[in-house]
Structure formats: C-alpha cells, structure tokens
Amino acid sequence: MTSDTGVMLHEFLRSPMQVGAVAPSSRRLAAAVTAPVPEAGDPVVVELGPRTGAFTGLIQELLGGRGHHVAVEINPRLAESLGRRFPRVEVFNAKAAQLPRLLAACGHGTADVVISGLPWVSLPGRVQHETLCAVRDVLPVDGAFTTFGYVHTMRLAPARRFRRMLGVNFEEVVAGRTVWGNLPPAFVYHSRRPRDIKPIGRLYGPGGDGCKCATTAGAGRC
C-alpha cells in the first residue's frame, strides 16, 4: 500500500461520504481531467477536493512554474499535508462553495480552469447546487470546468441530479471516454460556456432536489 493510499484509507474510514473513494485517482484519469490546463500563459487553475494530490502533481507539472494554482480542501489534515507537499500551490482549508471569496482573497476575480475531485454523488443536493453555482460564478465565458464520475454510480439519483445541474449551468457538457484503468472505472465531464443564471427560487427538502433558476435559455431546475 502506498503512503497516499494509507492516508486516504484512514480519512475515508473517518468520513466516508465526504472523502468519497478509497483509492487515489489514476494517472490516466488525472490526464483526462487536467486536459484543459492551457499550455501557455499564466492561467489561474483551481482544484477542488485535492485530497492526497492525485491531480495536484500533474497540474503542477503542466503549469511548470507558470500561473497560479489554488486548491480547496475541506479536510484540515489533508489540506495541511497537501500544502507541505506542494509549496507552490495556494491551499485553502475551506468548502468549495466558498470559491468566489477565496479567489478574491488571493487577488483573482475569475479562474481559467476549475478541476474537481469532489465526490458529487455523496454530496447533498444543496451542497451540489451551491458548489456548482460557485464554480460557474468564477468562470469567464471561455473558462472550462472538468470533473469526474464513477461508472458504477452514474445511474444513481444524486449522479443524475448532478448531470442535470451541469446542463443547467453550462451550455456545453461532454462526457469523455471511460477510463477503465482507474479503480473504480471513471469518466470525465468537460463543461464549457457557463450560463448567465439568476436563481428564482429554492426547491430543497422533501419533494425538491435543487433550485429553480432563470437562465438565458429559459427557466430550469438546477
């Protein structure tokens, strides 16, 4: 067992819903999820839920000292150890839904790319919604958002709700090929062109699983 797997297993046993998976993502999944990191310039790249850094190391390699890499991790032990391993990454021990405020605190109004390792399927509808709104709100029209899901959970209600929310919040959502070499097999959602959305009501609680929104494309449920 690698030390990363040991740390993850320990944190998974402490908080299975929040951590969401037992093993770190594979290099292949990391390559798919980090595809939108620009090859030139000084991009602002945000990473949500880095845990032990399965995507962090590759993002740092792709940036090669350029730009700004901000990571947001809710677990204080994981955030602290990630900050020590990757001194060039600005690590916040915070909720991903606080992203607009965190980015502002380090002098950035927007991000070029947001890469998520969050366990969307185990997050309550309210947290899914607030977090996705925070992501959408920090992305400019040409910004990109990538996240992954596991093949074995894609038909579960929270996974289908999350897919609907993606479609409400982004004009373009494309599911990539299954990464069979990942444990468990996973796929990446590539989302672009965040919509201009104004919330018009909440539908949480019994009978509701999201939020009513007005978008440029009409009213929807996100």
Ligand X SMILES: C[S@@+](CC[C@H](N)C(=O)[O-])C[C@H]1O[C@@H](n2cnc3c(N)ncnc32)[C@H](O)[C@@H]1O
> Is the Cβ–Cβ distance between 148 and 82 less than 8 Å?
no
Based on CB atoms, which residue is closest to ligand X, 44 or 58?
58
Binding status of residue 210 toward ligand X by CB under 6 A: no
Q: Which residue of this chain has its Cβ atom nearest to ligand X in the complex?
A: 117
Interaction between residue 125 and ligand X (CB under 6 A): no
**Site for ligand X contains 96 (CB under 6 A):** yes
For residue 186, give the amino acid letter.
A
Does 138 interact with ligand X (rule: CB under 6 A)? no
Tell me: does residue 103 bind ligand X (CB under 6 A): no
Decide if residue 74 touches ligand X (CB under 6 A): yes
Q: Which of 36, 117, 149, 220 binds ligand X (CB under 6 A)?
A: 117
Indicate the residue among 6 and 201 with the shorter CB distance to ligand X: 6
How far is the C-alpha of 115 from the C-alpha of 13, rounded, in Å? 25
Q: Roughly how many angstroms between the first and final C-alpha of the chain, as a whole number?
A: 40
Contact 70, 103 (CB under 8 A): yes
The answer to whether 48 contacts ligand X (rule: CB under 6 A) is yes
Q: Among 59, 71, 75, 166, which residue sits at the site for ligand X (rule: CB under 6 A)?
A: 75
Contact pick of 36, 119, 143, 194 for ligand X (by CB under 6 A): 119
Closest CA to 54 of 35, 32, 71, 29: 29
Whether the CB-CB separation of 158 and 123 falls below 8 Å is answered with: yes
Report the distance separating Cα 222 and Cα 196, nearest Å. 13
Q: Buried b / exposed e across 184-217, counting CB within 10 Å, b at 16+? A: eebbbbbbbebbebeeeeeeeeeeebbbebebee
Strands 170-175 and 218-221, sheet pairing? unpaired
Q: Is 21 in the site for ligand X (CB under 6 A)?
A: yes
Nearest-approach distance from CB 219 to ligand X, in angstroms:
27
| Segment near ligand X (CB under 6 A); pick from 115-123, 190-198, 199-207, 213-221 | 115-123
Q: Side chain identity at 140, as an amino acid letter? A: P
**Binding residues vs ligand X (CB under 6 A):** 18-21, 24-25, 48-51, 54-55, 72-75, 78, 95-96, 117-119, 127
